[in-house]
Structure 1
Amino acid sequence: MSLSILIIEDNEQNMYMLSYLLTNNNYKVIKAFNGRDGLNLAHNNHPEIILLDIQLPDMDGYEICLKLRHNGLPKNTTIIAVTSYAMGGDREKAIEAGADGYLEKPINPDTFVSEMEKIYNAKQ
């Protein structure tokens, strides 16, 4: 059984790269290009992993993460912030909002999937 991953990302190039890497590694990919769609898709599909950009057009990733954690999402869902918003304290802010991990952009295509799996496996 392949795990499902919801990607919440507004940048089309980033969405393409993440989708490509994950589908090639036998993951089922669900795409959302904004926070509202991401919240709806998360609650309708219950993905095992959510990859969440922090800078989105309608609400920031911290707010989305808080909503996901407090609105009925299964507790074992792994949320990973994937962002170029890499200022001091951002990793801690993402974890405080409910993320299980934090990966910086630009992602390394050679290591991204294994880094994501490491965060996922640590939670299981």
Structure 2
Amino acid sequence: MSNVLFVDDFKEAADALADIASALGHRSAVAYNGASALALAGGNCFDVILLDLTLPDADGHDVCLQLREGQHSGARIIALTGHAELVGEVMQCFDGCALKPVDIDHLQELLA
């Protein structure tokens, strides 16, 4: 079981992924913007973070770098994007990239 943080400004998608992860036995939390993600991460320890690249208040890359500076330096951080052309251009701080929408099988792989 992993502690997982889903960060996406599309609330329905973030909530759905968190619900699926919880049903798979993981502990899930959700943030809808960069500031909320950093606040949640400051008070909790996450094993896996799925982080949207385009947030309303922050660039996902910048949020990833800030997470890496703190207690989440060893967390697996996966970039989420709806732009297929970005999948091959994962920035250094991410451990991978997933194209939205993420299906259940791919989510299980990401959380394994």
Give me the TM-score of the superposition, normalised by structure 2: 0.88
1:105 and 2:100 are equivalent in the alignment = yes
Residue 76 (structure 1) aligns with:
74
Unaligned runs of 5+ in 1: 119-124
- Structure 1: how far apart are the matches of 2:51 and 2:22? 17
Q: What is the distance in 2 between the residues matched to 1:75 and 1:39?
A: 13
Contact 2:53 2:59 in 1 (8 A): yes
Q: Could you list the per-position Cα deviations for residues 43-98 of structure 1 after superposition, in whole angstroms to 9, with x for gaps in the alignment? A: 2101111110111100011111111112x2243211011211222xx3454332x1
Which one-letter code corresponds to 1:108 in the other structure? D
Give the partner amino acid of 2:51: L
**In 2: Cα distance, 1:108 partner to 1:7 partner:** 14
**Structure 2: segments with no counterpart, 5+ residues:** none
Paired AA for residue 90 in structure 2: A
TM-score normalised by L of structure 1: 0.81
Which residue of the partner structure matches residue 23 of structure 1?
22
CA distance in structure 1 between the aligned counterparts of 2:90 and 2:66, rounded to whole angstroms? 13
- In structure 2, the residue matched to 1:122 is none
How is 1:91-102 mapped onto 2 (pairs within 5 angstroms)?
A: 91=87, 93-96=89-92, 98-102=93-97
Deviation at 1:10, TM superposition (A): 0.9
Matched letter for residue 104 of structure 1:
L
Q: What is the root-mean-square deviation in Å for CA atoms of aligned residues?
A: 1.6
Structure 2 letter corresponding to 1:94: V
